[in-house]
């Protein structure tokens, strides 16, 4: 080491002995002083060489302010030392983070001179820069790069935080348009990310700096009001803290008590959401108790003392020690009534908890004592859960549109949390507004996909019910259930949304394939010769976005292949009169195998020939069941479609369908299971959904296809889809359901 090869001129510099001007050497000494004061271990020669390389690499570069460019990476390195102190590897990477992107030196140069660890961090930081350089994240692949950087070495994003923080501190020298873009990006991406990393101080400062650009008038107004009351607040907090400090001292509990800094953007958000002026916000008076203790129970002891001295506000107590936030934050929060009737927010934590609150996941970074050389993450459940969350967000992206992924990602970064429990008492942390479907997918993707209902605290709730902290949630499932489009609107977690989209997209692909097969058969039978481009053009004229959408409609049964052929032929012009030759069509399909592959399902009335076979299928609109009065409608290519005689689609269009209607009847004892839909209403009460599903299953072990129940006021209404053998089987289900306490009505459902 000691020499470097550049991409072009390949200059040689001796990093150990090369010196610069007085001001540069002074900057180096400031950096080393910060490193000595804050890093647990420091190789000064290593950092010095990285500094000299940084200055040499950027010697021709100048910042927008007119300063030498090297001052920026040096300030980033100082932030890494002072505010998220990790190790000398991170400091070196901070010094070199712009070298590959902005100078003639390559990643290979850095790897040869400073080792693989530094090179990987620099490479990761460069990739993150590439993600944001286009001003908008447009490709899911960029997220893969970001994930790779985060999971392989979290120091990448920590260096990037420091980089963005210094850029925001010096943003005033940039043009207004670029200031606004950087500020919005900081507010939407970097600040929420810092929140998830538990980097409280950096998150607050990034928000305030971005807010200053995006709403300067409000920023200046709040800052002016805070400055005018700063001395008053300091005096009040000192008087408030004095009796607490004295009581803690008498029991031998050392602590640091100080006023919690107020952040302008946080105050602005509270003013907007609560509709109050700055004078009405009681939490402008806030105190933090940091205990010099390693025993978490001392926090509860301190809380007891605070509650004895001042009257607590019960509903404002939050225990983040027993149940930490998802980013690992732990502390006790309470609000008490101080002197003069003022409300004061109090946070109580140990020194270790405070370190994590300030430094987030960086607090988990330590050197391995046994090697004395290599930096590593210490074992941490909090860190493992956080890493799992990051992986989940990105690995479940699938084929999701970049815009959808980005929006979902932003929401999940910043949402408040609720704490809910499984029936076995296991804790699950979800974002506020989460529904039973979110909870089901949190348990397992298979549980989410098969969710047919939920009980919260023993009471049936609709699937869009908003869960609350403390709820105990039981998910009811059916192996025949599948998600529907409404679910995507209901859920709030990224995990649930991505799984639902994946399942629905797969279902759509299957339906498109089925629809295309039906269309191809129909086109072949009619002798329709039409190329893909022509069919695409006609489908657009028919108000479909593409021919794929028409295939999907055919596959779903909302459009028959016959109707599709009629419409396409009408747009093509007269090519065939075959659609009107009902008798020929009927004859062509009368003696073919049935769709069920059985000879004892449905037959033409009056035709008792044992050899008579026909192609038929059951209409999805009314789901006929053996025992129902039925009629048949002749179609092209799919034989006879069997409907219930009172089906709306038959009665409403009887005149038009008359030439195609034939009398059909059930033959013998049809085998198999038939889908039936039941509408049920009644009084909502705890255990109702369980009673309904238990009653259905008790009748000949009936298979439930799905349950969709909504509750409103004290009533519920739902659709139950089941597989039955015949109408007698269905009547048994009706009878059993009517015996359930609170059930008011049951009827067959069409739709």
Whether residues 226 and 340 share a domain: the answer is yes
Q: What is the pLDDT of residue 638?
A: 59
CB 653 within 8 A of CB 636: no
Q: What is d(CA 567, CA 543) in angstroms, rounded to the nearest whole number?
A: 11
Q: What is d(CA 352, CA 444) in angstroms, rounded to the nearest whole number?
A: 34
Nearest alpha carbon to residue 354 among 292, 416, 304: 292
The DSSP line for 430-457 is EETT--HHHHHHHH-HHHHHTEEEEEET
Residue 521: count of CB within 10 angstroms of its CB: 14
CATH number of the domain at 135, please: 1.10.3210.10
CB 532 within 8 A of CB 511: no
Does 691 reside within a domain?
yes
Domain C-terminal end among 329, 363, 397: 363
Does 668 reside within a domain?
no
Domain C-terminal end among 313, 335, 363: 363
**Phi, psi (degrees; rounded to nearest 5) at 747:** -155, 160
Q: What is the pLDDT of residue 347?
A: 92
Does 607 reside within a domain?
no
Annotated active-site positions, please? 101-102
Whether residues 242 and 152 share a domain: the answer is no
Q: What is the pLDDT of residue 480?
A: 80
Helix (H) or strand (E) holding 662: strand 661-662
pLDDT, tens digit, for every residue of 125-157?
876 665 555 444 434 444 444 544 454 567 787
What total number of domains does the chain contain? 3
Q: What is the pLDDT of residue 234?
A: 78
Whether residues 229 and 345 share a domain: the answer is yes
Q: What is the pLDDT of residue 474?
A: 93
Output the pTM of the full model. 0.52
Does 546 reside within a domain?
no
The DSSP line for 640-658 is EEEEETT-HHHHTTHHHHG
Whether residues 249 and 109 share a domain: the answer is no
**Phi, psi (degrees; rounded to nearest 5) at 707:** -135, 130
Tokens of 526: 């009619």
pLDDT, tens digit, for every residue of 541-556?
887 878 888 898 888 8
CB 257 within 8 A of CB 287: yes
Does 497 reside within a domain?
no
Burial of 281 (0-12, 13-18, 19+ CB in 10 A): middle
Distance between start and end Cα atoms, the chain: 76
CATH number of the domain at 357, please: 3.30.460.10
Q: What is the pLDDT of residue 613?
A: 55
Whether residues 167 and 85 share a domain: the answer is yes
The DSSP line for 561-580 is HHHHHHHHHHHH-S---GGG
Tokens of 560: 């028959």
Whether residues 260 and 155 share a domain: the answer is no
Whether residues 224 and 168 share a domain: the answer is no
CB 350 within 8 A of CB 298: yes
Does 435 reside within a domain?
no
For the chain of 751 residues, list the mean pLDDT of each consecutive stretch of 10: 38 49 81 88 90 90 86 92 84 90 86 89 74 44 47 74 92 89 86 78 90 91 78 82 90 85 79 71 75 90 92 86 80 87 88 80 48 42 52 49 48 64 83 91 90 88 87 88 85 85 85 90 83 80 83 86 83 48 41 37 66 68 87 74 84 74 80 85 81 86 80 78 89 90 87 61
Query: Crossing angle of helices 88-96/116-133, nearest 10°?
Result: 50
Whether residues 83 and 154 share a domain: the answer is yes
Does 6 reside within a domain?
no
Residue with tokens 């010094």: 95
The DSSP line for 585-639 is HHHHHHTS--TTS-SSSEEETT---TT----EEE-TTT---BTB-EEEEE-SSS-
In a 3-state reduction of DSSP, which class is residue 666?
strand
Whether residues 282 and 225 share a domain: the answer is yes
CB 250 within 8 A of CB 302: no
Domain C-terminal end among 340, 363, 386: 363
Domain extent, residue 255, equals 217-363
**Phi, psi (degrees; rounded to nearest 5) at 312:** -80, 155
Residues forming a β-bridge with 717: 681, 710
């Amino acid at each position: 080491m000691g020499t470097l090869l550049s991409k072009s001129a390949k200059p040689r510099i001796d990093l150990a002995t090369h010196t610069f001007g007085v001001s540069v050497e002074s900057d180096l000494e400031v950096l080393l002083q910060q490193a000595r004061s804050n890093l647990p271990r420091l190789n000064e020669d290593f950092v010095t060489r990285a500094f000299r390389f940084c200055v040499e690499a950027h010697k021709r570069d100048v910042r927008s302010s007119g300063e030498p460019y090297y001052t920026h990476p040096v300030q980033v390195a100082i932030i890494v030392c002072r505010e998220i102190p990790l190790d000398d590897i991170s400091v070196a990477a901070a010094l070199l983070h712009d070298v590959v992107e902005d100078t003639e030196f390559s990643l290979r140069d850095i790897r040869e001179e400073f080792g693989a660890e530094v090179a990987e961090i620099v490479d990761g930081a460069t990739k993150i820069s590439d993600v944001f350089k286009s001003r908008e994240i447009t490709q899911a692949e960029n997220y893969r790069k970001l994930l790779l950087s985060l999971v392989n070495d979290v120091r990448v994003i920590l260096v990037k935080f420091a980089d963005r923080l210094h850029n925001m501190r010096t943003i005033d020298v940039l043009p207004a348009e670029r200031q606004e873009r950087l500020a919005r990006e900081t507010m939407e991406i970097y600040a929420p990310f810092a929140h998830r990393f538990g980097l409280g101080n950096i998150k607050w400062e990034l928000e305030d700096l971005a807010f200053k650009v995006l709403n300067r008038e409000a920023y200046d107004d709040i800052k002016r009001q805070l400055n005018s009351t700063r001395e008053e607040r300091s005096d009040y907090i000192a008087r408030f803290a004095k009796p607490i400090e004295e009581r803690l001292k008498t029991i031998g509990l050392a602590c640091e008590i100080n006023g919690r800094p107020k952040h302008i953007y946080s105050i602005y958000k509270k003013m907007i959401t609560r509709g109050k002026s700055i004078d009405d916000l009681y939490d402008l008076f806030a105190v933090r108790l940091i205990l010099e203790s390693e025993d978490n129970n001392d926090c509860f002891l301190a809380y007891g003392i605070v509650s004895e001295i001042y009257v607590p506000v019960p509903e404002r107590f939050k225990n983040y020690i027993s149940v930490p936030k998802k980013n690992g934050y732990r502390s006790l929060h309470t609000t008490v009534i101080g002197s003069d009737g003022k409300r004061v927010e109090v946070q109580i934590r140990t020194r270790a908890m405070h370190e994590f609150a300030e430094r987030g996941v960086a607090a988990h970074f330590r050197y391995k004592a046994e090697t004395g050389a290599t930096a590593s993450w210490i074992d941490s459940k909090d860190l493992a859960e956080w890493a799992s969350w990051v992986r989940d967000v990105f690995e479940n992206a699938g084929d999701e549109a970049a815009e959808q992924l980005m929006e979902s990602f932003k929401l999940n970064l910043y949402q408040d949390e609720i704490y809910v429990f499984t029936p076995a008492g296991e804790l699950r942390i979800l974002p506020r507004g989460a529904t039973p479907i979110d909870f089901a997918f949190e348990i397992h993707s298979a549980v989410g996909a098969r969710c047919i209902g939920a009980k919260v605290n023993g009471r049936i709730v609709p699937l869009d019910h908003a869960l609350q902290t403390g709820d105990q949630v039981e998910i009811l499932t059916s192996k025949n259930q599948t998600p529907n489009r409404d679910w995507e609107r209901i859920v709030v977690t990224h995990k649930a949304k991505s799984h639902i989209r994946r399942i629905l997209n797969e279902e759509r692909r299957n339906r498109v394939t089925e629809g295309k097969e039906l269309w191809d058969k129909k086109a072949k039978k009619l002798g329709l010769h039409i190329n893909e481009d022509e069919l695409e053009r006609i489908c657009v004229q028919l108000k479909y976005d593409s021919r794929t959408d028409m295939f999907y409609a055919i596959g779903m049964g909302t459009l028959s292949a016959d109707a599709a052929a009629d419409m396409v032929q009408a747009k093509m012009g007269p090519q065939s009169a075959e659609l009107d030759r009902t008798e020929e069509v009927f004859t062509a399909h009368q003696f073919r195998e049935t769709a069920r592959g059985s000879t004892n399902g449905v037959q033409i009335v009056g035709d008792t020939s044992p050899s008579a076979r026909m192609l038929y299928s059951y209409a999805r609109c009314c789901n006929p069941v053996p025992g129902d009065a039925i009629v048949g409608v002749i179609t092209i290519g799919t034989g006879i479609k069997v409907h219930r005689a009172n089906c709306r689609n038959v009665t409403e269009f009887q005149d038009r369908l008359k030439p195609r209607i034939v009398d059909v009847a059930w033959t013998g004892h049809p085998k198999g299971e038939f889908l039936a839909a039941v509408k049920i209403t009644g009084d909502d009460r705890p255990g109702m959904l369980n009673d309904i599903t238990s009653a259905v299953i008790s009748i000949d072990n009936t298979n439930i296809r799905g349950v969709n129940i909504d509750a409103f006021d004290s009533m519920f209404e739902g659709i139950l889809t089941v597989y039955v053998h015949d109408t007698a089987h269905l009547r048994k289900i009706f009878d059993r359901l009517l015996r359930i306490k609170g059930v008011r009505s049951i009827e067959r459902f069409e739709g």
